[in-house]
Amino acid sequence: MEINLCDDPSHWERIGFEVVTDNSAKSIQIGKTKLCFKEIDGVEGIASVHVEGVTANIDSLNFKPRTLYSTNTEAPFHPNRIERIDHLVVTTPDSDKTTKALIEAGIALSGIRTFGSHPNQTRQSFFWLGDVILELVGPHKVTKTGSPLFWGLALVSSDINETVQQIGDLCTPLKDAVQPGRKITTVKTRDLSIGVPIAIMSPHVNDS
């Protein structure tokens, strides 16, 4: 899997990622996923995603062919202790429409969670993209028009306390996550001029 980012990789180095240069292209490998840095005028954050088996855009979400053909598949050690991507967050104004499009593209729905009070309930729908979860977030009932967007990333650290110490003032204080037994911090991406919201979590309880 590849995630194409319109960001300055040096800003990601400031929060403890090892940036690799391969044939003049810069990337970060986290687990089995490459974050590939690109420059596209007028675009910031996540521009597109490559997933094996997905050959066309889905409900205007940009799924593109692979851009890096490196034989290096082993992720380097990152000083921030981040070792994999937990989930890729996608926002949508129409949960039913985007869910239907993802399923028709062959991406299996693995679960749904609805929270909040009527009529402003929010729906989270979960899909597997290889070893990364796609978390689709939108209104339970359609309330506005627009298009879905690749929005943010939730990452997993093998040592969340060390992660917070490494990143320092560029992340928020550690707190309990929604999932029982897990901790979470949020990177202050605006202070870093990073166009992707980033959360960092401790491992799933059954993984630790």
* pLDDT > 60? residue 69: no
Supply the mean pLDDT for the chain. 91
- The answer as to whether 176 is a domain residue is yes
- Residue 57: what are its φ and ψ, rounded to 5°? -60, 150
Task: Give me the mean pLDDT over the 153-176 stretch.
Answer: 97
Strands (E), the chain: 2-6, 20-22, 25-30, 33-37, 45-50, 82-91, 109-115, 122-129, 132-139, 149-157, 175-176, 183-186, 198-201
- The answer as to whether 122 is a domain residue is yes
What pLDDT does residue 167 have? Answer: 97
* pLDDT > 80? residue 68: no
Integer angstrom CA distances of residue 183 from 120, 164, 200: 27, 11, 8
Domain with 118 in it: 82-207
**pLDDT tens digits for 2-15?**
999 999 999 999 99
| CATH number where 176 lies | 3.10.180.10
- The answer as to whether 167 is a domain residue is yes
Integer angstrom CA distances of residue 38 from 27, 127, 133: 9, 26, 23
**pLDDT tens digits for 13-33?**
999 999 999 888 899 999 999
Task: Give me the mean pLDDT over the 36-46 stretch.
Answer: 85
- The answer as to whether 193 is a domain residue is yes
Structural domain count, the chain: 1
* pLDDT > 70? residue 71: no
Which of residues 146 and 208 earns the better pLDDT score?
Answer: 146
- The answer as to whether 41 is a domain residue is no
* pLDDT > 70? residue 138: yes
Query: d(Cα 149, Cα 194) in Å, to the nearest integer?
Result: 16
Q: Which among 193, 197, 191 is positioned nearest to 46, based on CA atoms?
A: 197
**pLDDT tens digits for 169-201?**
999 999 999 889 999 999 999 999 999 999 999
- The answer as to whether 4 is a domain residue is no
